[in-house]
């Protein structure tokens, strides 16, 4: 058994997660014979870039967190969800446009905002109708559509969703520095972090042992990776290759 230590910046983690998603059986099957629906979100944007090549990731965002607080992008600046049918990009479509055609062999990708202490993804809601997640979660549960929620470990929170569930909604805040939101947990979705990504790519075990940093490493995560010698060697070369991933491009169209 070999051991590997690595620190990943937020952008490096997003790139890793995107590549890991592509290595999963569920995503490969959806690309080959079904629908892969990649909804708006920063981590999801990296997956679209992996699939399409040159892609403006700043347009693949609705809600976002910036220094001033929670916010959203200007609606007319956004791309549609990235919908792929049997590997072909279907332009101008959203998940809701193909929802009636989706079933157990199809996959919806939805970035999350937080990962609670039970590894349950949480989505913040700045829409009165629940945003994108509000359009597909019930049909997904009814028809056993696979929902994968990519999220970096930097978004882990040391509490359970139940600790604040029901205590606020969009209209419940007395003061708000940033856009008022509600929140919903998605226990029926599959959280997909750096841990799952590295396992999908190299069949290794991953334990986060530290988080944070300075000089551009703010939000970073440090990982203890273990596995067979060949797998660890491949992971080492791969991780050296994604080191230096540039930060997410600056988003100008913040509402």
255 within some domain: no
Q: Give the containing element (helix H, strand E) for 249.
A: none
Residue 151 has pLDDT above 90, yes or no: yes
203 within some domain: yes
249 within some domain: no
Distance, in Å, from the CA atom of 85 to the CA atom of 106, rounded to the nearest integer, reads: 9
Residue 131 has pLDDT above 90, yes or no: no
253 within some domain: no
251 within some domain: no
DSSP state of 35: E
Q: Measured between alpha carbons, how far is residue 220 from residues 104, 180, 208 in Å?
A: 35, 27, 11
The residue among 185, 242, 201, 195 whose CA lies nearest residue 223 is: 195
Residue 191 has pLDDT above 90, yes or no: yes
Distance, in Å, from the CA atom of 38 to the CA atom of 95, rounded to the nearest integer, reads: 8
Distance, in Å, from the CA atom of 82 to the CA atom of 18, rounded to the nearest integer, reads: 14
Q: What CATH number is associated with residue 222?
A: 3.40.50.10470
Residue 215: domain span: 2-172+179-242
For residues 119-130, give the mean pLDDT. Answer: 94
14 within some domain: yes
| DSSP-derived pairing of the beta strands 107-109 and 35-38 | parallel
For residues 204-208, give the mean pLDDT. Answer: 98
**How high is the mean pLDDT of the chain?**
96
Distance, in Å, from the CA atom of 75 to the CA atom of 98, rounded to the nearest integer, reads: 21
Per-residue pLDDT of 43-102, as tens digits, reads 999 999 999 999 999 999 999 999 999 999 999 999 999 999 999 999 999 999 999 999
33 within some domain: yes
Q: Where are the alpha helices (DSSP H) in 24-179?
A: 25-33, 42-52, 95-98, 131-143
134 within some domain: yes
Distance, in Å, from the CA atom of 71 to the CA atom of 61, rounded to the nearest integer, reads: 11
What total number of domains does the chain contain? 1
């Amino acid at each position: 058994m070999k051991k590997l230590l690595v620190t990943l910046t937020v952008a490096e983690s997003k790139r890793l997660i995107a590549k890991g998603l592509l290595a999963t059986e569920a995503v490969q099957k959806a690309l080959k014979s079904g629908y892969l629906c990649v909804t708006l979100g920063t981590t999801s944007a990296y997956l679209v870039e992996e699939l399409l090549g040159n892609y403006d990731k700043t347009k693949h965002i609705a809600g976002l967190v910036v220094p001033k607080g929670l916010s959203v992008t200007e609606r007319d600046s956004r791309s549609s969800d990235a919908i792929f049918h049997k590997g072909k990009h279907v332009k101008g479509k959203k998940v809701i446009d193909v929802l009636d055609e989706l079933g157990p062999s199809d996959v919806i990708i939805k970035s999350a905002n937080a990962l609670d202490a039970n590894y349950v993804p949480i989505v913040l809601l700045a829409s009165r109708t629940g945003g994108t997640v509000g359009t597909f979660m019930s049909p997904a549960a009814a028809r056993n559509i696979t929902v994968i929620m990519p999220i970096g470990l930097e978004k882990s929170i040391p509490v359970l969703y139940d600790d604040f569930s029901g205590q606020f909604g969009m209209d419940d805040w007395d003061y708000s520095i940033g856009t008022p939101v509600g929140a919903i947990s998605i226990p029926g979705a599959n959280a997909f972090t750096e841990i799952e990504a590295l396992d999908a790519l190299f069949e290794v075990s991953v334990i986060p042992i530290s988080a944070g940093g300075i000089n551009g490493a703010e939000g970073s995560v440090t990982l203890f990776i273990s596995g067979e010698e060949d797998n660890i060697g491949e992971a080492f070369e791969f991780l050296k290759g994604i080191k230096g991933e540039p930060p997410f491009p600056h988003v100008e169209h913040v509402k």
